[in-house]
Amino acid sequence: MENSYLIETRDLVKTYPMGEHTIVALDKVNLKFEKAEFTGLVGPSGSGKTTLLNIIGSLDSPTSGSAVVMGRKVEGLSHKQASALRNHHIGFIFQTFNLLPVYTVFENVEFPLLLLDYSAAERRKMTMVALDWVGLADRTRSKPAQLSGGQSQRVAIARAVVKKPALILADEPTANLDAENSHHILQTMERLNRDLGTTFVFATHDEKVIDYLRRKITLFDGAVAKDERMEPQRPGGEKR
Amino acid sequence: MIKFLFKGLMRDRSRSLFPILTVVIGVMLTVFIYNWINGAQFNFIDSNARFNTGHVKIMSRAYAREADQVPNDLALIGVQSLVDKLQEEYPDMIWTPRIRFGGLLDIPDAEGETREQGPVMGMAVDLLSAGSNEPGIFKLEEALVRGRVPQRAAEILISEDFARRLKVQPGDTATLISVTMQGSMAVANFTVAGTIRFGVEAMDRGAMIADIADIRAALDMEDAAGEILGFFGDFMYRDPQASQITTRFNAAHGDDPDEFVPVMDTLLHQAGMTDLMAMLKMFSGLVLVVFIAVMSLVLWNAGLMGSLRRYGEIGVRLALGETKTHIYRSLIWESLMIGVLGSLIGTAVGLAESYYLQAHGLNIGFMMKNASLFISNVLRAKVSPVSYVIGFIPGLAATFLGSSVSGTGIYRRQTSRLMKELES
User: Tens of pLDDT along B144-198?
Assistant: 999 999 999 999 999 999 999 999 999 999 999 999 999 899 999 999 999 998 8
Whole domain around residue A207: which residue ranges? 7-237
At a CB cut-off of 8 Å and minimum separation 6, what does B121 contact?
B100, B102, B203, B205, B206, B207, B208
pLDDT grade, residue A240 (50/70/90)? very low
Contact in structure between B380 and B43 (CB atoms under 8 Å): yes
CATH of residue A223's domain is 3.40.50.300
Mean per-residue pLDDT of chain B? 87
pLDDT of residue B130: 86
User: Would you list which residues of chain A are within 8 Å, Cβ to Cβ, of chain B?
Assistant: 50, 53-54, 57, 59-61, 79-80, 82-88, 90, 92, 94-96, 98, 100-103, 107, 111-112, 114-115, 159, 171-172
pLDDT tens digits, one per residue of B303-327: 777 767 777 888 888 888 888 999 9
Closest Cα in chain A, distance from residue B409 (Å): 16
What is the dihedral sign for C-alpha B354, B359, B362, B368? positive
pLDDT of residue A182: 84
Query: How do B173-179 and A199-203 pair as beta strands?
Result: unpaired
In a domain, A2, yes or no: no
The C-alpha atoms of residue A202 and residue A190 are separated, in whole angstroms, by 12
pLDDT of residue A238: 44
Q: Do B418 and A115 touch (CB under 8 A)?
A: no
Q: Do B322 and A95 touch (CB under 8 A)?
A: no
Contact in structure between B209 and B156 (CB atoms under 8 Å): yes
The C-alpha atoms of residue B59 and residue B98 are separated, in whole angstroms, by 10
For the cut 50, the answer to whether the pLDDT of residue A236 exceeds it is: no
For the cut 60, the answer to whether the pLDDT of residue B286 exceeds it is: yes
Contact in structure between B107 and B117 (CB atoms under 8 Å): yes
In this prediction the ipTM stands at: 0.85
Q: Which one has a higher pLDDT value, B12 or A26?
A: A26
CB half-sphere exposure, B37, CA atoms < 13 A: 21
Residues of chain B with pLDDT > 90: what percent? 43
For the cut 50, the answer to whether the pLDDT of residue A1 exceeds it is: no
pLDDT tens digits, one per residue of A102-152: 999 999 999 999 988 899 999 999 999 999 988 899 999 999 999 988 899
pLDDT (mean) for A213-219: 93
Give B111-155 as a DSSP string. TSSEEEEEEEEEEEE--SSTT-SHHHHTTHHHHEEEE----STTE
- Inter-helix orientation angle B273-309/B392-406, to 10°: 40
pLDDT tens digits, one per residue of B90-117: 999 999 999 999 999 999 988 888 999 9
At a CB cut-off of 8 Å and minimum separation 6, what does B135 contact?
B127, B141, B149
pLDDT tens digits, one per residue of B191-231: 999 999 887 777 788 889 999 999 999 999 999 999 999 99
For the cut 70, the answer to whether the pLDDT of residue A234 exceeds it is: no
pLDDT (mean) for B39-44: 83
pLDDT (mean) for B125-131: 90
Contact in structure between B319 and A86 (CB atoms under 8 Å): yes
Closest Cα in chain B, distance from residue A49 (Å): 11
Residue of B nearest to A160 (CA): B320
For chain A, the domain total comes to 1
List helix spans (H) across chain A: 49-56, 79-89, 105-114, 120-133, 149-161, 179-196, 207-212
Residue B304: count other Cβ atoms within 10 Å of its Cβ: 15
The C-alpha atoms of residue A114 and residue B338 are separated, in whole angstroms, by 22
Contact in structure between B122 and B169 (CB atoms under 8 Å): no
pLDDT tens digits, one per residue of A14-68: 998 888 888 899 999 999 999 999 999 999 988 999 899 999 999 888 999 999 9
Distances (CA, A) of B360 to B196, B354, B377: 20, 10, 12
pLDDT (mean) for B53-61: 93
pLDDT of residue A2: 46
User: Number of A:B CB contacts under 8 A?
Assistant: 80
The C-alpha atoms of residue A63 and residue B100 are separated, in whole angstroms, by 92
Residues of chain A with pLDDT > 90: what percent? 52
pLDDT tens digits, one per residue of B370-420: 555 666 667 788 899 989 998 888 888 888 888 888 888 778 777 777 767
pLDDT of residue A172: 85
Residue of A nearest to B415 (CA): A59
pLDDT grade, residue B77 (50/70/90)? very high
B227-259 as b/e: b if 16+ CB within 10 A: bbbbbbeeeebebebbeebbeebeeeeeeeeee
pLDDT of residue B367: 61
Which one of B318, B410, B419, B421 would you mutate to disrupt binding with A, by most A Cβ within 10 Å of its Cβ? Answer: B419
pLDDT grade, residue B369 (50/70/90)? low
In a domain, A87, yes or no: yes
Amino acid found at A119: S
Contact in structure between B50 and B296 (CB atoms under 8 Å): no
Residue of A nearest to B330 (CA): A115
